[in-house]
Chain A
Amino acid sequence: MDINIVVAGEAGQGLKTVDQIIGKSLHRLGFSVFSSKNYMSRIRGGHNFMQIRFGDEKVAGPVEEIDILIALNEDGVDIHQDSVKDDGVILFDGDKDLDYMQVPAKEMAKEVNPKAVNTVFLGYAWKLLGLPLDALKDVIKEKFGEGDIYDDNVKLLDAAYEKVDTTFDCELPDGDVKGLYINGNQAIAFGAATAGVQFYAAYPMTPSTSILNYLASRQDKLGIAVEQAEDEIAAINMAIGASFGGARAMTGTSGGGFSLMAEGLGLAGIMETPLVIAEVQRPGPATGLPTRTEQGDLSFVINASQGEFPLKVIAPRDQEDAFYQTFRAFNIADKYQLPVIILSDAYLADAGATIPEFKLDELKIDRNLVDENEWPEDKEYKRYELTEDGISPRAYPGQLEGEVVLLDSDEHDENGFIIEDGETRVKMVDKRNAKFEKMKREDNEEPLYIGPDKPDYMLVSFGSTYGALKEAMDRLNGNGHSIGMLSFSDIWPLPTAELEKQRSYDTKLVVVEGNSTGQLASLIQAETGLTVDHRILKYDGRPFNVDGLVRELEEEVIS
């Protein structure tokens, strides 16, 4: 069983609410749910749609064909009707010369609550699927609370439920429902909260803003400070200042804002100040496509800021990974005293999915600060003390009585004082590079490899393409092909052992990524000397979907 519902309409028609209610209700019933959003950069009007796919087995990416289309306006029918399956259903309230199910939503809602038009559609769809209404009602109650709004919705749901017959066969999954329904940005934000983030500063920018929203609306509960900065330059500098103060600090933005942060990134690098940055990509350059998705910033984030300094880049492959990697990013930033970038994208940011509950009790916070009770009384504190592994003892101002902590953006000596001599410069560059080498050895996760040993084709990807690509690979392997996939989450420094291990002389490397130039392919070629045989690139602002990937791989790669 695998059902794909699309809700289409214009901005302001309440698509997001419908999507959230359906997604959460299906999750509560025990289905595997995957929901993705497609919206325009406008507050009202335009054409937006939400896709909610669910099944009794794991679904992890969008597909093209539609089982139920809820068209809240005429455009919704016109744009999507060709994707509706032959046995699919279009729900529409209006007059069109084609085959659809007439839903008298406005008329029914008028008598109860004119604002609850969408609830009628919900009732219809729910009955078509033959699912119990209680699950839907519970989620609506949580969203709106008990009262008139809830009562009106229940009335309309019950009435709509009577109007149609069940046409889809959706057997309810067995057993207790455990797990979470969460999107990528929520997972990053909750990961940061769990890691003990104490300061978050950001300038609102789509699609990163919901991280800011999540932390800001819970800051009193979390006991943390969240500040909307005047610009991204201020945001990153505020976070670095908070980190200097000894707190765990983070900022978040998208590519355009990250361009402004590039200077501050280098500052954190040379100051050796821990910092976590969420860079939620959207297509660029400049303003690009503000509400669409792309993986076009990989080369940029690795190379941002002048000069050379160590940093780490992690591209979470799904919602679950986004949580654990964000938590881990804080520990790595603290351990190596450097910036760690979470490289996500608009698609993952907004995509909701059912995942297992996070294992919170298995997580451990590692601050790597000096212990003020154990600092030798006669020892002078030097912020950049030269050590074998390049990691200096980190104290924050006021922590060690009588000692001062000095950070500098200029090249500096062990005390943090400005220097200009070549010898000290070389020592400090070597010190920072030593940390990078240590991190490569101790804290660089190899990509996930799935598939047969030494496959004919190896699909190589990073970040959020994982889910759709895995399903596509499974389908193709089901047809007798020998295809493996390698999904990078830690992307800089690039871990290469698994790539070398799983590939044979004959294995064709097929890089699949959401940009027009093949940035991952170039990185692999530069770091390993291997030749990439095929590049599947997508840069229309839309995410990869399972059907499209299967088609493209079959037509262009696997002959």
Chain B
Amino acid sequence: MVDKNIFDADRETAWCPGCGNFPLRKSLAEALAGLDITPDRVAMFTGIGQAAKMPHYIRVNGFNGLHGRALPPALGFRMVNPELKVIVESGDGDTYGEGGNHILHNIRRNPDIAHFVHDNQIYGLTKGQASPTTGEEIKTEVQPYGITAAPFNPIKFAVAMGASFVARAFVGNQDHLIEMMQAAIEHEGYALVDILQPCVTFNKVNTYQWYKERSYLLDDDYDPTDYKAAVEKAEEWGDDIPLGIIYRNDARKPFRSKFDWLSDSFVKDYKEPAEYDDLMQEFA
């Protein structure tokens, strides 16, 4: 098995002490090591935000791109490289706010990408404004009278869109988080894992304690392939927050398989210009 320490980037982080990103990073290294995946076989795509700094703090191939734009480059990469594991890490603002259009269309495409959303229900890096998932009970400097728009429910959204894998995890339960990460990485298609991850500095409501008191693991009887049950389960929030695979549909084919002419050793497979004579004759 791969030693999890191989993922240690040996870098000082910009994260606050006690940040939920620390246990998340630890779980990711363990998840990858547990699957026997080495750093050079992973390509991680991120946007902007504290979560998005992940490729600097864990040793894998990384693409720390633009705010909200982690999914499009991940898709482009996935199309030309079918071999590496592609992981997207992003925050709730990055994914559901700025990147809203991209997640919508990538659920439609179903590319083979594992997407881990660090959902702390607040904008951390810009110091405490509302995110799309911020609860209505919260007031911020920008929303002094309370949240002005209803919170976005990412699980319900992804289930309704027919995403092929939708799960929720909590950094306070690392064993389960690792299990969810591994299932997502191994899923052949787009796998969304919304990870509850407290922001200890700016979100004083949704704390470790708050999630601990409310979250529960789905029991073995729950059938994630039952769409109607998943829609119902996706509604649960507040006093009872389900953790686990809410919905999965393994019948959906991954995006790249629809391009059956694409070779596996893509980058090296190009013709010399002289071989295009037949194409040129279309204009003769």
A contact set with B: CB distance below 8 Å: 179-182, 186, 190, 193-196, 198-199, 201, 218-221, 223-225, 227, 229-231, 233-235, 237-249, 263-264, 267, 271, 327, 357-358, 360-361, 363-365, 396-398, 400-410, 416-418
Contact = CB atoms under 8 A, between A and B. Distances in A.
Given A398-B40, A404-B60, A239 B283 contact: no
A198 B80 contact: yes
10 contacts: A199-B80, A241-B72, A241-B77, A243-B76, A360-B276, A364-B273, A365-B270, A365-B273, A398-B84, A404-B40
A264 B66 contact: yes
Contacts of A224: 262
Contact of B80 (A195, A242, A405): A242
Interface string B86-109: 000000000000000110110000
B279 interface: yes
Contact of A190 (B43, B53, B280): B280
A406 to B, nearest CB: 4
B84 A397 contact: yes
Contacts of A241: 45, 63, 72-77
A199 B79 contact: yes
Contact of B73 (A238, A246, A418): A238
A397 to B, nearest CB: 4
Contacts of B105: 229-230, 234
B198 interface: no
Nearest to B14: A418
B166 interface: no
B60 to A, nearest CB: 6
Contacts of A179: 284
Nearest to A401: B40
A194 B75 CA distance: 24
B77 A245 contact: yes
Contacts of A365: 270, 272-273
A189 to B, nearest CB: 10
Chain B interface residue number, banded:
35 or more
Contact of B76 (A180, A199, A364, A397): A199
A237 B76 contact: yes
B145 interface: no
B283 A218 contact: no
A457 B280 CA distance: 39
B283 A237 contact: no
Q: Which of A179, A220, A224 has the most CB of B within 10 A?
A: A224
Contacts of B104: 230
B61 A201 contact: no
Interface of B: 11, 14, 38-41, 43, 45, 48, 53, 55-56, 59-66, 69, 71-77, 79-81, 83-84, 101-102, 104-105, 256, 259, 261-263, 266-267, 269-274, 276-277, 279-280, 283-284
B276 A398 contact: no
B261 A194 contact: no
A15 B102 CA distance: 38
A403 B261 CA distance: 30
Contacts of A416: 62
Given A193-B279, A247-B266, A358-B280, A404 B62 contact: yes
Contacts of A227: 75-76, 79
A366 to B, nearest CB: 12
A365 B269 CA distance: 13
Given A234-B105, A246-B80, A358-B280, A418 B72 contact: no
Given A196-B270, A404-B39, A244 B63 contact: yes
A225 B280 CA distance: 20
Contacts of B83: 398
Contacts of A405: 61-62
Q: Which of B73, B105, B266 has the most CB of A within 10 A?
A: B73
B279 A190 contact: yes
B267 A245 contact: yes
Contacts of A218: 279
Nearest to B64: A408
B101 A230 contact: yes
Contacts of B271: 196
A234 B101 contact: yes
Contacts of B14: 418
Q: Which of B11, B76, B79, B81 has the most CB of A within 10 A?
A: B76
Contacts of B280: 180, 190, 357-358, 360
Contacts of A271: 63, 65
A267 B101 contact: no
A237 B65 contact: yes
A433 to B, nearest CB: 22
A198 B267 CA distance: 8
Given A241-B77, A245-B81, A181 B283 contact: yes
A229 B284 CA distance: 32
B56 A238 contact: no
A230 B102 contact: yes
B80 A225 contact: yes
Contacts of A201: 72, 76
Nearest to A264: B66
Contacts of B267: 198, 245-247, 396
Contacts of A404: 39-40, 59-62
Nearest to A405: B61
A220 B284 CA distance: 22
